[in-house]
Amino acid sequence: MKEMIENEIKPRRAFLIGVSDDSIDKQEAESLAKELAGLAETLGVEIAGQETVRIREKHPRYGMGTGKAEEIAAESGELDVDCLIFDQDLTPSQQRNWEKLCGIPVVDRREVIIQIFAGRAKTREAELQVDLAELKYSLPRLSHKYIDLSRQRGGRYGTKGSGETRLETDRRLVQQRIHKLETELKEVRKHRAVQRKKREKIPIPACALVGYTNAGKSSLLNAMTSAGVFVEDKLFATLDPTTRRLEIGSGRPVLLTDTVGFIRRLPHDLVDAFRSTLEEVSLASILVHVLDASDPDLDRYYETTMAVLRDLNAGETPMIVALNKTDRVESRDDLEGLAKRYPGSVMISAKNRTGLDELALRMDELLSRAVDCFRFPADRYDLPALIHRSGTVFSEKYEENYIEVTARVDETVREKLREYIVTP
């Protein structure tokens, strides 16, 4: 069904258009423009020109005034570009209006990200997730493919023209394909849940590497575990989670997982499609939040990642901030400034393998604090069962007068069982 997605980006020269209003300050607009250029380059598109349009109010036809839209159309003709790329979501009608005005394909930020994901998907699960996002994106955009056909005359009253019939046929086929993909993904998620249960039977805590795309999470996983994960200095180099065993501190084993990077304005379809992948984050015992210390926008990236973590109910999970790529930071004063802005953070360089021992030590300390010993009445079998369902059990023993369980649980369960916590 992929052939139905008419706007798959094939051109090589593009004119990038950003749109800002009173809700976005100048620095944020510049940051988003830089990010859009990075997305385009990741897709292999040559940037012929870039402009950020400041608007006071959005107009339904183009998302901006007609006069400005005509200026952009004229400039795109002068630049001889193959497509326009907008750093915002366009409605199907706006996309159609822009294509009529400019005479070239027009794509929005959501489609750019989807196409990057499509090119990076390697496993069956990632392919299913991307296919699902593509089809959900294409479904409301099918109508403009047959707009001329659906206006054909000749149908009797109460019947539909050939174009509209074909449109409904394709829409039905896409909906059937979406249903099939969702069914397949459910099976994949069941398989992932089984794998997760097997890991939980072996009492090894899990640590997830999280952060903005291209912060260096995969490089860090490789540096700490020799995982051999694909690394590239481009956005979204990693889509599929990779888990490796690592020994930290005095030989404590931990499962370290690399996850898909976050980005501002991440399409909801992709968040929903990658929900099972992101569950690795929500179920982790601790998080290592990787930031690119050399990026001037790292504060914005930190806030974006934290917002996504809160959406995944992982905002309260114990976390270590790892300031990566310190080898690229120009001065010691800059590093000291970062340390003040992010107190308790660890300075590392995955490339030069510096600071990794300190990071491992901090992970060991955090995991040690996160383990509790619970002592339940001998007849309360339901409480150990609750911990087995919701946490990671490290040891369990049944005595005549009590049941003792050493485990790591989330804060909600811990609060519920606080009265049973004892010093082991």
The binding site for Mg(2+) consists of 218, 238
State the pLDDT at residue 29: 82
Considering the domain architecture, whether residues 109 and 135 belong to the same structural domain is answered as no
In this structure, of 12-26, 259-273, 325-339, the range with the lowest mean pLDDT score is 259-273
User: What pLDDT digit, counting tens, does each position of 44-99 carry?
Assistant: 889 999 999 988 877 889 999 999 999 999 999 999 999 999 998 889 999 999 99
Instruction: Compute the distance between CA of residue 289 and CA of residue 207 in angstroms, rounded to an integer.
Output: 10
- Residue 2 is given by DSSP the state G
Please give the full DSSP string across 7-55, using - where no structure is assigned. Answer: T----SEEEEEEEE-TTS-HHHHHHHHHHHHHHHHHTT-EEEEEEEEE-
State the pLDDT at residue 269: 66
State the pLDDT at residue 158: 39
The binding site consists of 211-218, 236-240, 258-261, 324-327, 349-351
Considering the domain architecture, whether residues 337 and 408 belong to the same structural domain is answered as no
Confidence band (pLDDT; 50, 70, 90) for 412?
A: confident
Residue 196 lies in a domain: no
Residue after which a domain boundary falls, among 325, 351, 369: 369
pLDDT of 127 higher than 70? yes
Considering the domain architecture, whether residues 159 and 283 belong to the same structural domain is answered as no
Most confident by average pLDDT, 27-31, 239-243, 340-344: 340-344
In the chain, the amino acid numbered 239 is L
Q: Do the strands 402-408 and 392-398 form a parallel or antiparallel pair, or are they unpaired? A: antiparallel
Bridge partners, 422 (sequence order):
373
Considering the domain architecture, whether residues 328 and 359 belong to the same structural domain is answered as yes
CATH number at residue 97: 3.40.50.11060
CATH number at residue 359: 3.40.50.300
Residue 197 lies in a domain: no
Total domains in the chain come to: 4
Which residue segment(s) compose the domain that 43 sits in? Answer: 2-120
* Residue 403 and residue 396 in contact, taking contact as beta carbons nearer than 8 Å: yes
Considering the domain architecture, whether residues 251 and 129 belong to the same structural domain is answered as no
* Other beta carbons less than 10 A from residue 8's beta carbon: 15
* Residue 217 and residue 211 in contact, taking contact as beta carbons nearer than 8 Å: yes
Q: Do the strands 286-292 and 83-86 form a parallel or antiparallel pair, or are they unpaired? A: unpaired
The order of strands in the sheet holding 242-248 is 242-248, 252-258, 206-211, 286-292, 319-324, 346-347
Residue 192 lies in a domain: no
Residue 198 lies in a domain: no
Residue 250 lies in a domain: yes
Residue after which a domain boundary falls, among 120, 138, 163: 120
* Residue 345 and residue 326 in contact, taking contact as beta carbons nearer than 8 Å: no
User: What pLDDT digit, counting tens, does each position of 240-273 carry?
Assistant: 678 888 888 767 788 898 887 888 877 666 676 6
Mark 99-136 as b/e (b = at least 16 C-beta within 10 Å). Answer: bebbebbbbbbbbbbbbbbbebbeeebbbbbbbbbbbb
Instruction: Compute the distance between CA of residue 277 and CA of residue 382 in angstroms, rounded to an integer.
Output: 30
Residue after which a domain boundary falls, among 187, 213, 242: 187
Confidence band (pLDDT; 50, 70, 90) for 28?
A: confident
State the pLDDT at residue 149: 32
Could you give phi then psi for residue 118, rounded to 5 degrees? -60, -40
* Residue 395 and residue 405 in contact, taking contact as beta carbons nearer than 8 Å: yes
Considering the domain architecture, whether residues 11 and 104 belong to the same structural domain is answered as yes
Residue 113 lies in a domain: yes
pLDDT of 147 higher than 60? no
Considering the domain architecture, whether residues 291 and 307 belong to the same structural domain is answered as yes
* Residue 243 and residue 256 in contact, taking contact as beta carbons nearer than 8 Å: yes
Rg (the chain; Cα; Å): 26
Q: What angle do CA 13, 261, 115 make, to 5 degrees?
A: 35
Considering the domain architecture, whether residues 215 and 279 belong to the same structural domain is answered as yes
The binding site for GTP consists of 211-218, 236-240, 258-261, 324-327, 349-351
* Among candidate residues 161, 141, 245, the one with its CA nearest the CA of residue 202: 245
Considering the domain architecture, whether residues 360 and 380 belong to the same structural domain is answered as no
Considering the domain architecture, whether residues 225 and 354 belong to the same structural domain is answered as yes
Tokens representing 4? Answer: 């139905």
In this structure, of 153-162, 290-299, 388-397, the range with the lowest mean pLDDT score is 153-162
Residue 194 lies in a domain: no
Residue 195 lies in a domain: no
Instruction: Say how many residues make up the chain.
Output: 424
pTM listed for this prediction: 0.72
Considering the domain architecture, whether residues 36 and 19 belong to the same structural domain is answered as yes
Considering the domain architecture, whether residues 16 and 77 belong to the same structural domain is answered as yes
